[in-house]
Amino acid sequence: MAQKPVDRGQEYVRIEGVTKRFGDFVAVDNVSLSVFKGEIFCLLGGSGCGKTTLLRMLAGFESPTAGRILIDGQDMAGIPPYDRPVNMMFQSYALFPHMTVEKNVAFGLEQEGLSKSEIAKRVSEMLDIVKLGEFARRKPHQLSGGQRQRVALARALVKRPKLLLLDEPLGALDKKLREHTQFELINLQEQLGVTFVVVTHDQEEAMTLATRIGVMNKGQIVQVGTPTDIYEFPNSRFVADFIGSVNMFDGQLIEDEPGHVRIRCNELESTVYVSHGISAPPEAKVAVAIRPEKIEMSRTAPISNENCAQGVVKEIAYMGDLSVYLVRLESGRMVRVTIPNVERHADERIVWDETVHLSWHPSSPVVLTI
């Protein structure tokens, strides 16, 4: 997951202390956020976390209860959706069922009052870009899911918006098509230089698409960062748990030095040594998070008596590229370990009910205070 450098030069969208209430329910709670020109920003969160409401406020379908939204320096308060320099791709695609593909794509341009020849030219250009030229005369119901998705994308992009909002753009596609389309989306975005704000609940989608991710929970942005930041340096238990899978151990700080910390966890026999300092009061209650792929598993005991554990393999899930092991520690705690299947033959692999030793590098654990 190599990341493109983020150009932080130009702020395009600025969300300032935006709150949205529906009656007593606070859907979006005091969110402040900047989106830079030309980036793909993903709002990631579970259902009901407020990500779609935030997107709809950018599009103009909802207005903030408090706070303000600036797009390209202009305050969007009171500006209806049809006057915003923004286009949206809807989760359901919202294609007009009574119009052909061509007409759907032309709809936005007709509203701009362009000449017929100009519209025809731009529509056919756009249909070529999304490879739907031969389907121009079809109605939406005669298309497959993937084709409809591309019509929706073409319809939004043909207006040459500076900002494109995408609500779960790949949600309705099957896995293979989704992976393929993700890369197509990135290519298109680079080709056209549009700023994307994508809402998704699918962390894999967010990881592949985004230059930056904003993780949302209960109406608030809990962390903003590059996919690597979010995955490797989560700032809270929520983010660590939400993104990818993680083994989380509750523990107590027993040694706190600028260059390292030691933590005792009830569920682990050995102490955890972490090779970086943290900012927490001494003897604070903390959580240690270790990603399954960062744990080594072997039949022989490690030399160190720190950062290790012993257990019995209880479950193995073979996923093809890797295998997921569930190991039960002596404390009864289950630990998830993933091992890449480098070898083709399974002779050497660890099997059910084997006693194994787990260990990890001191730089691997993340210490979480909230």
**Does 61 sit near other proteins (CB under 8 A)?**
yes
Site of tokens 């194994």: 356
106 versus 297: smaller Cβ distance to other proteins: 106
- The amino acid that residue 92 corresponds to is S
176 binds other proteins (CB under 8 A): no
Output 83 or 128, the one with its CB closest to other proteins: 83
Q: How far is the CB of 194 from other proteins (least distance, A)?
A: 15
148 binds other proteins (CB under 8 A): no
Assigned token pair, 347: 């002779």
Measured from the CB atom, the residue of 94 and 322 that comes closer to other proteins is 94
Q: What is the 3-state secondary structure (H, E, C) of 280-321?
A: CCCCCEEEEEECHHHEEEECCCCCCCCCEEEEEEEEEEECCC
Q: Apex CA 137: angle with CA 133 and CA 143, to 5°? A: 80
The piece of 78-86, 122-130, 188-196, 354-362 that touches other proteins (CB under 8 A) is 78-86
Return the structure tokens found at 39: 């980036």
Applying CB under 8 A, which of residues 48, 80, 145, 277 lies at the interface with other proteins? 80
Q: Contact 140/101 with Cβ under 8 angstroms? A: yes
Dihedral pair phi/psi, residue 92, rounded to 5°:
-85, 5
Helix count and strand count (H, E) for the chain: 8, 20
Contact stretch for other proteins (CB under 8 A) within 24-32, 80-88, 208-216, 353-361: 80-88
Closest to other proteins by CB, 159 vs 201, is 159
| Residues contacting residue 124 through CB under 8 Å, at least 6 positions apart | 133, 136
Range in contact with other proteins (rule: CB under 8 A) among 82-90, 168-176, 187-195, 267-275:
82-90
Count of chain residues binding other proteins (CB under 8 A): 25
Contact between 254 and 271 under an 8 Å Cβ cutoff? The reply is yes
Contact between residue 305 and residue 269 where contact means Cβ atoms under 8 Å apart: no
Of 35-43, 107-115, 228-236, 354-362: span binding other proteins (CB under 8 A): 107-115
User: Which is nearest to 126 in space by CA: 191, 40, 61?
Assistant: 191
Among 52, 53, 87, 208, binds other proteins (CB under 8 A): 87
| 96 is an interface residue for other proteins by CB under 8 A | yes
Per CB under 8 A, 90 contacts other proteins:
yes
Task: Pick the closer one to other proteins by CB: 43 or 272.
Answer: 43
- For position 23 contacting other proteins by CB under 8 A, the verdict is no
Q: Which of 6, 107, 147, 369 binds other proteins (CB under 8 A)?
A: 107
Residues that bind other proteins (CB under 8 A): 59-61, 80-83, 86-88, 90, 92, 94-98, 107-108, 111-112, 141, 155-156, 159
